[in-house]
Structure 1
């Protein structure tokens, strides 16, 4: 399985992992993240979930959610529909 590395700025996820989920060649991942077509959210566990992290990536109405343990290994992986919400004016 593709690797995840913790850095001072957050996490680095190998492009192959995202490309596999979103049916994209790995070389397109960075470009789509830079231009906002792929977005992400990082959440740090608290209470009973302390020591865990949840990384969620969004692209074209789909989401990939990775739950990481304290050692940054993937504990669970889920993909689901995630239609974009329209913003209120």
Structure 2
């Protein structure tokens, strides 16, 4: 993944790439996003991070975080696996 697209109204990330980060197929990713099993958060950088954006995607067992510059070029992409243990909502969403 080298690029995301975003505007004030829309964010676009390649479903195949995001699915790979979740270790699932793209159809499962789309289904889980529609059902709310995978959620997301969009943040715009301030001060020293102005012009950058951070996208964080959450499932019950995994978090994927993407940071991109103002043009949408991915700077970092990381994933954290929580395993199969149930976690409190506060651990899944900051």
TM-score exceeds 0.5: yes
User: Are 2:44 and 1:72 aligned?
Assistant: no
* Higher helix residue share: 2
**Unaligned residue ranges in structure 1 (runs of 5+):** none
Task: Give the corresponding residue for 2:9.
Answer: 9
Runs of 4+ in 1 over 2 A off after TM superposition: 81-87
Aligned-residue offset at 1:24:
1.1
Number of aligned residue pairs: give it: 87
Aligned-residue offset at 1:9:
1.6
Query: TM-score if structure 2 supplies the norm length?
Result: 0.80
Larger relative contact order (CA 8 Å, sep ≥ 6): 2
Is contact 2:15–2:30 with CA below 8 Å preserved after alignment? Answer: yes
- Relative to structure 2, which stretch is displaced further, 74-83 or 27-36? 74-83
* Higher strand residue share: 1
C-alpha change, 1:68 and 1:2, in structure 2 (3 Å) is: closer
